[in-house]
Amino acid sequence: MEIFDCISAVARPLHDFGDEFMSDEATAHTGLTAGFAPGRGFYCRGRFGVLGEAPASVVQAVQGFLGPHLVTAGWLAGRSVMPAEEAAACYAGAVRTWGRAHIPGDVDVEHFNHLAQQLIDAADADALPLFAGWRAQPNAGNDPVGAAMQRVHVLREHRGACHLAAVRLCGLSAQAAMVINLGVEQATHYGWQEPRAVAAAQVPRRQRAEQLTDEMQAPLYATLTDRQRTEFAQLVDALTASRAFSRPRPGAGPGAGAGPGAGAGT
């Protein structure tokens, strides 16, 4: 399989499978059990906790696609519950637990883990701090299924971080990218207050951003052979077979957030 064919084949499944985790009531319940109040606290504090005790404005700048008021409220609400590092570890545990419940039992997760880790290790993390934080997050060596889900999450963060950079490079704001992809009304569900319609001349820029995101990911997939890329695409399809193609789901759970296309990392 060619590099860009493989990227195209896996981008949407990896994004949507991670989105299912973020929006699942079971994930919300994990946060409640850990002491987080209903809302976005567990999502924001857990997902962005790999950045450390950063100001909310810094977290917003790193993640990009969710509205600043949503991120600020969630990040600050979770601060009193547990330190950022602990929250990230708790969130990683939730990722692995969810994976054990949703990854089919007949998937060769060992081979997936080998290929996924090869991609993760090959990534240049410069200017991609959220990905870098999640790549550095410890994984469970004795839990191959949970580890596979965590690698899905890390790869999702890589594409999302690349996509945010690509969107800005193409002359779009993150808000504009959300509006182009979801529409003004839907964008409000992801924290954007009174988002404005985007001029028609800007719409092609999002497609260019998707292409640029693919180009930014190409060096990772170039480390796999043609055969390995075919195998990886097949494994991703099998691993994410239970995903529901129901995105976006406005307001679904504390981590709901289908971003602008398969490039999104929200």
- pLDDT by residue (tens digit) across 161-220? 999 999 999 999 999 999 998 898 889 888 898 888 889 989 999 999 999 999 999 999
Give the Å distances, CA to CA, from 98 to 18, 39, 105, 245. Answer: 10, 19, 13, 18
Residue 189 pLDDT: 84
User: Mean pLDDT over all residues of the chain?
Assistant: 91
- pLDDT by residue (tens digit) across 3-40? 999 999 999 999 999 999 999 999 999 999 999 999 99
Residue 69 CA to residue 161 CA, distance in Å, equals: 20
Q: What share of the chain is helix, strand, coil (3-state, %, to 5)?
A: 65, 0, 35
Q: What's the pTM value of the predicted model, to 2 decimals?
A: 0.90
Residue 129 CA to residue 111 CA, distance in Å, equals: 27
- pLDDT by residue (tens digit) across 154-175? 999 999 999 999 999 999 999 9
